[in-house]
Amino acid sequence: MIRRTFLSLGLALAAAATSAIAQDGPIVVGEINHFKRMAAFAEPYRKGYEMAIEEVNAAGGADGRQIEVIFRDDQGEPGEAIRIAEELMTREGAVMLTGSILSNVGLALSSLAAQKEWVYLASEPLADALVWENGNDWTFRLRASTYMQAAMLAEEAAKTDALRYATIAPNYAYGKDAVAAFKEALTALKPEVEFVAEQWPQLFQIDAGAEVQALERAKPDAIYNVTFGPDLAKFVRQGTDRGLFDGRAVFGLLSGEPEYLEPLADEAPEGWVVTGYPWYAFEDGPNADFVAAYTERFGESPKNGSLVGYMTGLSVAAALDIAGSTDKQAIRAAFEGLQVEGPVGPITYRQIDNQSTMGAFVGTTALEDGGGVMVDWTYRDGADYLPADDAVRARQGQ
């Protein structure tokens, strides 16, 4: 009995010492992403994230404590992301999770977050189900959603004379949501439009020649493109060679992002209406300050991922500071209605669906100095492109 008493006391003292160390040490956050599979976006994202945390820590940290982010690569696989998430939270002492680009991975992490009651900030995945059909109290999304960006492009499409539309999108959650959102938004603005063809290539396995032929056969007035990365490059080249874009309006979700536009060089399309990130065009203000600081820190220009990563770091720090604790419920409560100031201005994480109001840049593609850029661009506030509360509740099944 005496031995058991001393053993219990020793364990209690050890636990108390560990707790004290944890309270004095850095706050650990787990970041899970596809750093190898989608390096063109994920690496700039990581750099932006790191820069934000460096700035926060230099200013005293969150609630007086430093923040440490553990970056892990899930290879773009939902199962691997789940395994890493459990390891980060149970073995590494992470108090919350961030990350993911691919929506199928983000949805898997969101489901786990709800099951385990862990806060998950979905930095990049765009599928609307993350905050609506499959939304939960523990998942928050930073980036302008599929619905928001599609609505921005639909607004521009409605201004044209085009009535017959064809669509092409990757065959997974993000692509499906992107097409559905564009159809819904455009039809509401211009009921007479019709959609005459849909193409659904497998992600990163596009047969661009066949896809272009199928779209051409439909004889659309305009095309809505959701492909990105290497699929976008193949689609642009085949479409240009075969004249698919001649005399047709093209609306491209994400197509103006430097991650995807810059690799095209002088093959970049001209005249597409796109969402993207015209970092090269900021002359002054917070956006220009961010570009200058990032370029000085890393010796390269930022990408859209850089901005998303930076805003992720600022969001994490703001929530932890308000929570004043590493308690999961306190962090979750801090994210509800959280306001964060960043290069694009203030954003808010809406309480009704945990979606941030971060917007997007909309402009037209052009060739300048042998490369693709966005011109005639404007920043659209995300709050202006979200559905009304009753529509959100309906999507949430309330």
Residue 173 binned pLDDT confidence (cut-offs 50, 70, 90) = confident
Percent share of the chain, pLDDT over 90: 92
pLDDT value for 397: 87
Statement: residue 117 has pLDDT above 80: yes
Statement: residue 18 has pLDDT above 90: no
pLDDT value for 1: 36
Statement: residue 66 has pLDDT above 70: yes
Phi, psi of 336 (to 5 degrees): -70, 115
pLDDT value for 9: 37
Averaged pLDDT of the chain = 93
- Residue 380's Cβ-side half-sphere holds a number of Cα atoms within 13 Å equal to 25
pLDDT value for 95: 98
Percent share of the chain, pLDDT over 70: 94
Residue 4 binned pLDDT confidence (cut-offs 50, 70, 90) = very low
pLDDT value for 7: 34
pLDDT value for 23: 59
Condensed to tens digits (0 to 9), the pLDDT of residues 329-358 reads: 999 999 999 999 999 999 999 999 999 999
Statement: residue 108 has pLDDT above 70: yes
Strands across the sheet containing 222-225: 194-199, 164-168, 222-225, 249-256, 273-276, 360-368, 371-380
Condensed to tens digits (0 to 9), the pLDDT of residues 276-300 reads: 999 999 999 999 999 999 999 999 9
Residue 29 binned pLDDT confidence (cut-offs 50, 70, 90) = very high
Condensed to tens digits (0 to 9), the pLDDT of residues 189-235 reads: 999 999 999 999 999 999 999 999 999 999 999 999 999 999 999 99
Residue 328 binned pLDDT confidence (cut-offs 50, 70, 90) = very high
Statement: residue 2 has pLDDT above 90: no
Domains defined for the chain, CATH in brackets: 2-144+284-348 (3.40.50.2300), 147-281+360-395 (3.40.50.2300)
Residue 398 binned pLDDT confidence (cut-offs 50, 70, 90) = confident
Residue 21 binned pLDDT confidence (cut-offs 50, 70, 90) = very low
Condensed to tens digits (0 to 9), the pLDDT of residues 45-65 reads: 999 999 999 999 999 999 999
pTM: 0.91
